[in-house]
Structure formats: structure tokens, C-alpha cells
Amino acid sequence: MRLATWNVNSIRTRVDRVTDWLERADVDVLAMQETKCNDDQFPTMPFAALGYEVAHCGFNQWNGVAIASRIGIENVEVGFPGQPTWSDKPEVEAAAEARALGATCGGVRVWSLYIPNGRTVDSPHYAYKLEWLAALRDTASSWLTSDPSAPIALVGDWNIAPVDDDVWDISLFTHSTHVTERERSAFTAVVDAGFSDVVRPFTPGPGTFTYWDYTQLRFPKNRGMRIDFILGSPALAERVTHAEIARDERKTGKNRVGSPSDHAPVVVDLA
């Protein structure tokens, strides 16, 4: 089974690019983040033409998560128990955002996750991010308590660089989100709950990134961040035979279909 995650940065803009890569990379299950559309707008037909079923969670033009599978998709779940709510405006009631989608594919429980950005350290969104991660940790831990042998993959854009080598120049991020001790501790808490980073052993750093901003030639200069991860339960981790970051999919050029996302896909192979 080949499982991948990719922040696609608008699926309607990049559907041709995504499906082209799916076919070339021979991926069985793809978790997507930042689809930026509601459910009715998701372009399911190009995926169906390649034999993929799609589950999607999108409420508007923000956020959005999806899972495409050619090996079955069952027990679809929008949001996880205890997922925090959010509202940007005091007059608007807080609600769960389109940031978490679970489905069972080929016997593996896959969660496509788009962790809140946090914006700035003094923003309410930063506190929301920490609350969101704590709730994820508690719920994911309960899944393993209930069934220690469950193969579970927590995948997606975590908006956290867990160690200094995951940022091209840590000195530039001294007062920024993504690298604060509280965010890193929240990420480590998920790992300590039993979910290991199954990609890093195959893709050691420094300089091994998954995201490059569009500005200032960040990608050609490899000035990026490692913020996209696949965390696996013990039963899933022991099945990993290979992992990679498909860095070339961030490239532009005449041999590429459409414009790239600012993230690259992250891939694992399971025995």
C-alpha cells in the first residue's frame, strides 16, 4: 500500500497536477489539505476516471481536507471527537472547521489533518492551535488505548517545524509561530502518545523540507520548512518499508502539468 499526503493549496486550481502525479507515482491513498472548496465544488470526476473514490470535507473557500483511495474508503468521519471550534468574529458562533477527515482505506485508518496555522504568537488563533493539538493528542491516545494494534496514520500539514533543522534559517523565526516551544511540545505530545514520525528515518535532514514559500526564489534556493508529516501508530510504523518527500512536484517547468502547490507530497510504502 502506498499512502501519501499533500497540501494541494486549492484542488480546483491543481486537480490536473494532482491526478497526473497520482498516476505517475502509483499512489493508493492520498490525503489532501487546503482544498479550498465546499463539497459540491470538489472535482471528483478526474479522480474517478483513475479509479479513486473521494471523501471530502469543505464548508467554504477556506481550509478543506480530503482523502482519495483506489483500495476502498469506509467509515468516513468528519472531524474527531473533541475537535475545538473557532470563529474570527465575536458575533458569529464558533464551529468546527474543515480540518480533519478520517476514513478506513485498505484496513488502515487514515486521518487527513490540516492543523491551524496559529498566525502570530499573541493571536487567539495561536491558543486555538494549541487547544486543537491537545484535543487531537487526547483523542488519538484514546484510539490506541481502545485498540493498541490499530493501524492508524495521522497525516497532513501540521504547521509545525519540530526541530531547528526543519527550518532553512531558524534565526529568522525567533518570534514566529511554527517553531515555538509550546507548538513543538504539542507535536511531541502526539508522538509520545504512540504516533511516530515514520518518514524522517528515510529522509534525514537538515535541508529536507516539504514547504517552500512562493516568494523570493525560496524553492530554487531551498529555503523551506519541514511541516508536513505522517505519524503512524505502532502497528502502522512496523509496516513502513520506504518513505520519501516528492520534492520534484514543487518544481515548475514545461514538463510539469499546471502550477505547483507550495508544498510537496510526502509518501510512505507499507508492507
Is 238 a known ligand-binding residue? no
CA angle 267/111/211 to nearest 5° reads 45
Cα–Cα distance measured from residue 12 to residue 38, given in angstroms and rounded to the nearest whole number: 11
The single residue listed with the C-alpha cell 505519524 is: 231
Is 88 a known ligand-binding residue? no
Backbone φ and ψ of 46, nearest 5°: -60, -35
**How does DSSP classify residue 242?**
E
Is 34 a known ligand-binding residue? yes
Cα–Cα distance measured from residue 167 to residue 148, given in angstroms and rounded to the nearest whole number: 33
Q: Checking phi first, is residue 51 left (phi over 0); if not, alpha (psi -120 to 50) or beta?
A: left
Is 39 a known ligand-binding residue? no
20 labelled catalytic: no
Question: What is 157-216 written as a DSSP string?
Answer: E-----SGGGBS-GGGGTTSTTSSHHHHHHHHHHHHTT-EESSGGGS--SS--SB--SST
178 labelled catalytic: no
114 labelled catalytic: yes
Of 28, 126, 157, 178, catalytic? 157
Of 28, 52, 114, 166, catalytic? 114
Helix, strand or coil for residue 137?
A: helix
Is 159 a known ligand-binding residue? yes
Is 263 a known ligand-binding residue? yes
User: What is the number of other CB atoms lying within 10 angstroms of the CB of residue 235?
Assistant: 16
First to last CA, the chain: 7
Cα–Cα distance measured from residue 183 to residue 161, given in angstroms and rounded to the nearest whole number: 9
CB-CB contact of 65 with 112 (8 Å): yes
Indicate the annotated binding residues for Mg(2+). 7, 34, 157, 159, 262-263
Provide the annotated binding site.
Answer: 7, 34, 157, 159, 262-263
What is the set of active-site residues? 114, 157, 263
